[in-house]
Structure 1
Amino acid sequence: MSFSIAGKTAIITGAANGIGLAIGRKFAEAGANVMFADMDEKRLIEELGEQVDEGNVRYFAGDLREKLTIANLLSATLDAFDQVDILVNGSRQVIPSDPLDTDDDSVKTLLNQNLMPALRLSQVVAKRMIKQAGDDDEGPAGAIINLSSIAARRTHPDLMAYSVSTAALDQLTRSMAVALAPNRIRVNAIALGSVMSASLRSTLKENRDFREDIENHTPLARIAAPTELTDTAQFLASDAAGFMTGQILTIDGGRTLLDPVAAPAH
C-alpha cells in the first residue's frame, strides 16, 4: 500500500520553519491541500512565497493558545478546502527550567504552549472529522499526529518543563486515540531526538559545545534534518497506517538506547 494522501486536507501547526514547514511542504508535494499555521506571519509568507493562496497551499497566522484563534484556523481551512482530514500538531517550544526555583513558571508556560493548543485543536478538528464522516461507518475518518520528544522519557534537570509537557503530550496521544477510535480517527505521535529545528539552531549558535555533546550521545553521531521526518509523518497520515493508533514512534538516531542521565534530549 502506498502512503498516498493526495486530495486530503491537512492542517500543520508550527509550520513557519523547521519540522512543521518540512512536513507541510512534503504533504503539499504529495498532493494534499495544506494549511500552514504559525504565529509568525512574516516567516510564513517568506517561506511559502508564490505558493501562498494558490493551488493547494494556504497559510494562517495566529496565537493558538487562544481558543478563538483555534476556531478561526478551522474556519479558514474549511473556507479554503471544505474539509479537514489530517492534523499535525507541530508547534513546540523549548525553554530551560530550574526545578528548584519556586518562581520558575516554565512548566506552566510550556504546558500552555506545547500541550493545550494540541488538545484544543484536536478536539475541534476531531468534531469536524466526525461530522464529515456522517453515517458512513466504513473507512478512515481522519488522522491526528502529535510531534513529541524523547525528552518525555529522558531525565535532564535543565529541560524539566519541556520533559513534563512532552510526557503530557504522549499521554494525550494515547487517551485521544482510545476516545476517538470508535469514530475511526487515528491519533499517533512522533517522538523526536535532536532535529535541526529553529530553536535548536539558535541554541547551537549560543553554545558551540552543545552540538558535540548531542553527537557524542547519539549512536548515529549527528543531528537530523527536518526532511528526515517527513516520510514518517506522511505514513502516519496515510491509509497505510490504518491499523495504527495510540503509538509513539521514535526517531532519535538511537539516543534512547544509551543511559547517561545528563545527555541532552532536545
Structure 2
Amino acid sequence: MSDRWSLQNKYIVVTGGSRGIGYGVVVECLKHDPAKIIICSYSLDQLKQSISSLNDPRVSGIHCDVSTEEGRSRFVTFIKDNLPKVDVLVNNVGVNVRKSMEDQENDEYYRIMKTNVDSTYFLCKDLLPLLKTGSASIVNVASAAGVQSSGTGAAYGLSKAAIIQYTKILSCEWAKYNIRVNAVAPWMCMTPMLKDALKDDVGQLDKVNEWTPMGRIAEIQEIVDPILFLMMNASSFITGQCLGIDGGLTAQGFKGPCI
C-alpha cells in the first residue's frame, strides 16, 4: 500500500484517547505502523484500562485534565519528554451537558467551553514548536451540532461552531509552516458519552434515526476512518475544511425525514 495511505513512523497525539472515538482512532492508527502514540485522559482508571487493553509499547499516556492550564502544561511536558516532534495532533476531547439554555448552569457552560474550546486552542498553540518540525496534520473533532441547530444544547453547539471556525482560521495562518488543519463534524454515534445520555430514555434515538437520511446513527469506526484519512498524506492538499460525518443530516437539516 502506498505510504500516502499510511502513518508509518509518525508521532501522533490524541486527546481523550482512552475511550470512544479517541480510543477508536488509536486502535486504527496502530494498524498503520506509527512510531509512537501519546494519549491523555482525565480518568486515571480509564487510562490504565485502555493502555492495558491496547498492550502496545508504542502507546503511552498521561492522566491529566486538558481543560485546565495545569493539565495542559503537564500534557505538553509529557509530550516533549517523549516525542522528538508531533506529526499528527487529534483534538478529540469533549464534553456535553444536554440541557436547555434556561436549565444550563453557569458552571456547566464554563466546563463545556474550557473542555471543548480551550483545550483545542491552547494545545495547538503550545505544541506548535513540535508541529513545525516537518509536515504535520491537526484534526479537530467538532460536531454536526456546530453546523446547524439541533434544537437545544446552546453551549455545546456554540463550542463546536467555534472549533470549526478556529480550524478555518488556523489552517490559513499555519499553511506557511506546512501544517494542515481540518475538522470533522460527526452526528451521533454510540460512544460512551452518548450511552450515558440515553440511559434514561433509549427511545430518544427514534427521532434521531428519523431525522437522519441514512436512517441510523454511526458506528464509532465510521467516524474514525475519515479522521485517519485527514491524518494521512493522502489528504495532503486538504486544509481548512470541516468534513461532515452525519449520514446526510446537515445536507437536509434537523427536521427530517427525507421524502
DSSP-derived class of the 1:77 partner: helix
Query: Aligned partners of 1:98, 1:217: CA distance in 2, in Å?
Result: 20
Residue number in structure 2 paired with 1:4: 6
Q: Cα RMSD (Å) of the superposition?
A: 2.0
Aligned equivalent of 1:113: 115
The alpha-carbon deviation at position 175 of structure 1 amounts to: 1.0
One-letter amino acid of the counterpart of residue 117, structure 1: S
User: Are 2:251 and 1:257 aligned?
Assistant: yes
Other-structure match for 1:226: 220
| Structure 2 Cα separation of the partners of residues 212 and 103 of structure 1 | 28
Q: Are the equivalent residues in 2 in contact too, given 1:14–1:38 (CA < 8 A)?
A: yes
Q: Which residue of 1 aligns with 2:137?
A: 143
1:18 Cα deviation from its structure 2 partner: 0.6
Normalising by structure 2, we get a TM-score of: 0.91
CA distance in 1, matches of 2:223, 2:123: 22
Query: Quick one: structure 1 residues 260 and 58, their matched pair in 2 at CA, closer, same or farther if it must change by over 3 Å?
Result: closer
2: CA distance, partners of 1:128 / 1:109:
28
> C-alpha offsets along residues 74-129 of structure 1, whole Å, 9 cap, x if unaligned?
22223333221110000011112333469644433311110000000011112222
Cα distance in 1 for partners of 2:171, 2:230 equals 13
> Would the aligned equivalents of 1:17 and 1:198 in 2 still touch at CA under 8 Å?
yes
- How much does 1:3 deviate? 1.6
Provide the C-alpha distance between the structure 2 equivalents of 1:219 and 1:102, rounded to a whole number of angstroms: 30
Q: 2:9 corresponds to which letter in structure 1?
A: G
For residues 102 and 252 of structure 1, do their structure 2 counterparts lie closer, same or farther at Cα, with a shift above 3 Å needed?
closer
1:104–1:69: structure 2 CA closer, same or farther, 3 Å change rule?
closer
User: In structure 2, what residue type is equivalent to 1:230?
Assistant: V
Match of 1:14 in 2: 16
Partner of residue 97 from structure 1, selected from 90, 99, 116: 99
Partner of 2:40 in structure 1?
Answer: 37
Aligned match of 1:136 = none
The verdict on how the C-alpha distance between 1:223 and 1:7 changes in structure 2, with shifts beyond 3 A counting, is same
- Residue of structure 2 equivalent to 1:190: 184
Normalising by structure 1, report the TM-score: 0.88
d(CA) in 2 for partners of 1:76, 1:185: 22
| 1:49 maps to 2:52 | yes
Unaligned regions of 5+ residues in structure 2, if any? Answer: none
The share of aligned pairs that are identical, in percent, is 24
Paired position in structure 1 for 2:205: 211
The CA distance in 1 between the partners of 2:169 and 2:68, in whole Å, is 23
Other-structure match for 2:229: 235
Structure 1 residues 246 and 206 mapped into 2: Cα distance closer, same or farther (>3 Å)? same
Amino acid at match of 1:216: E
| Equivalent-residue separation in structure 2 for 1:170 and 1:157 (angstroms) | 19
Structure 1 position 164 matched with structure 2 position 167: no
Tell whether 2:56 aligns with 1:62. no
Does 1:25 find its partner at 2:27? yes
> How big is each residue's C-alpha offset from its partner over 1:174-206, in whole Å with a ceiling of 9 and x where there is no partner?
111111111110100000001111111112221
1:204 maps to amino acid: L
Residues paired across the two proteins, number: 254
The answer on whether the counterparts of 1:150 and 1:193 sit within 8 Å (CA) in structure 2 is yes
